[in-house]
Amino acid sequence: MSLTYKIAVLAGDGIGPEVMAEAIDLLQKCAELDRFQVDLNESLVGGAAIDATGKALPKETLANCEASDAILFSSVGGPKWERLPPGEQPERAALLPLRKHFHLFANLRPALCLPELSAASPLRPDLVQGGFEILCIRELTGGLYFGQPKGTRVEHGETIAIDTMVYRKSEVERIAHLAFQIARTRKRKLVSVDKANVLENSLLWRAVLKEIAAVYPAVELTHLLVDNAAMQFIRAPKTFDVVVTENLFGDILSDELAMLTGSIGMLPSASLGTGQHGFYRFGLYEPSGGSAPDIAGQGIANPIAQILSVAMMLRYSFELEETAARIESAVRKTIAKGLRTKDIWSVGTKLVSTKEMGDEINGKLLTRNNCKMEGEEKSKKVAKEKRSVKKSKTVALPAKEIPAAPVAEKPATRKTTGSGTAKRPAGSSKAKEPSYEQVQLRAYFIGERRKSLGIPGDETSDWVQAELELKAELAAK
């Protein structure tokens, strides 16, 4: 028996279907190599859905997404639908409702500048030599964009416009836990961006970040004011790894970071939900760019952003780190070999089509054994990171939504020893052991489901059941 991941595939408009085709081929090859199943269900969205049904997000599409473990999205929109009333246009009537419906509260946008493409960056060569990768984590459902009151009215004969910035502590805790959890699997450096010298919201933000930092002592937390952050990204991009910030600042800074890489066709993104869907953290994965109508239908779009979106989905929704790393490695090798789509082409490199780029990356996916050898360094690092996690105290869960929160970790240099119980810290030395975080996540959902069904039990029994289930699944793989 192997695991089956149910994925809603929404290719959308413009270059969407072209780049999605390459991503799906690659996903299917990964499933074959790593012996998992994907149940892919395509639905119309955006302009294509308007043409067919009159709605940018038809009921059937939403139902497909609801029944899935994750959404693989491409992009929507184009000149054909620009004359529609704003509320009916593809982006506003499809993407925003999807974000809202699935409570997608965290937007992850890696700004990836590969060494071979650093010439595309508008920054001075000495600042980007060797490339960089900064992961920008933006809070997506709070702050100025959604706070009430909001609106425009006339007061004392003058028109005034009001937007209100509101953050609840639980909203900040939720995104902070996620940011720390991601930072500890990378370089363990987290920069929190705020405007604490002016805004009440930022004072709360900073205080919560500091509080949550105590749960993750292996991660070094620093704070930057947003105006300074905007400058430091340009001055020294290579010194950053993970950045977390609120909605408005994240909107602006993630675009600045994307611009610093110089190649929008390379940048994926993830919008993570509250994890209520099955056992997996629900997410919507899509390229950072749009539907690029100027090049649609020509077979020249860069499929890498869509392909790397698949890698993000496997990592963040399905915890298939090894497979995600394999995809990223295949992309790096293809770029290192000199293949380029038109958007990233330069003299001396080989110009290829969307399909040729997809096929080349596909061909560079290693077999399981080779991949293990090649990815040994990264896997070792991740395993070491997970071994260092030890459940030592319980802290408040962030609004029932990030189940991996109630842990405190030991500094990464310290290894823990396993006892063989359900609560044993994981990343165990045995090959077929579920990780501590996998058990914790599964136990959380088992507990939630048990409670909602009114079945008696306790946390320990949830952990035992979670560990048994995961071991059985791993053994069957």
Ligand X SMILES: NC(=O)c1ccc[n+]([C@@H]2O[C@H](COP(=O)([O-])OP(=O)(O)OC[C@H]3O[C@@H](n4cnc5c(N)ncnc54)[C@H](O)[C@@H]3O)[C@@H](O)[C@H]2O)c1
- Residue placing its CB nearer to ligand X in the complex, 306 or 438: 306
**Within 265-284, which residues bind ligand X (CB under 6 A)?**
265
- Residue from 27, 56, 78, 425 touching ligand X (CB under 6 A): that is 78
Smallest separation (angstroms) from ligand X to the CB of 264:
5
One residue of 31, 56, 95, 313 binding ligand X per CB under 6 A? 95
CA-based nearest residue to 287, from 20, 6, 7, 96: 20
425 backbone dihedrals φ, ψ, rounded to 5°: -60, 145
Among 34, 194, 321, 343, binds ligand X (CB under 6 A): 343
Question: 3-state SS string over 59-99?
Answer: HHHHHHHHCCCEEEEEECCCHHHCCCCHHHCHHHHHHHHHH
The alpha carbon of 370 is separated from its chain's Cα centroid by a whole number of angstroms, namely: 26
Whole-number minimum distance, CB 415 to ligand X, in Å? 43
Q: Which is nearer to ligand X, 44 or 292 (CB)?
A: 292
Task: Give the span between the Cα atoms of 55 and 82, in whole angstroms.
Answer: 14
Binding of ligand X by 305 (CB under 6 A):
yes
| Residue in this structure with the two tokens 């008696």, named with its chain if needed | 456
Quick one: which of 19, 91, 20 has its CA closest to 49?
A: 91
Rg (Cα) of the chain, in Å, rounded? Answer: 22
- Comparing every residue's Cβ against ligand X, the nearest one is 290
Stretch that binds ligand X, among 3-11, 154-162, 274-282, 298-306 (CB under 6 A): 298-306
- Return the residue of 27, 301, 313, 365 that touches ligand X, per CB under 6 A: 301
**Residue numbers annotated as active site:** 145, 195, 227, 251, 255
How big is the site for ligand X, counted in residues (CB under 6 A)?
22
Smallest separation (angstroms) from ligand X to the CB of 47: 8
Residue 414 DSSP code: S
Give, in degrees to the nearest 5, the angle at Cα 129 between 271 and 261. 30
Phi-psi region of 8 (alpha: psi -120 to 50; beta: other; left: phi over 0): beta
CB of 289 to ligand X, least distance (A): 3
Check binding of 22 to ligand X (CB under 6 A): no
Q: Does 357 bind ligand X (CB under 6 A)?
A: no
Which residue ranges make up the site for ligand X (CB under 6 A)? 15, 19, 75-78, 91, 95, 264-265, 286, 289-295, 301-302, 305, 343
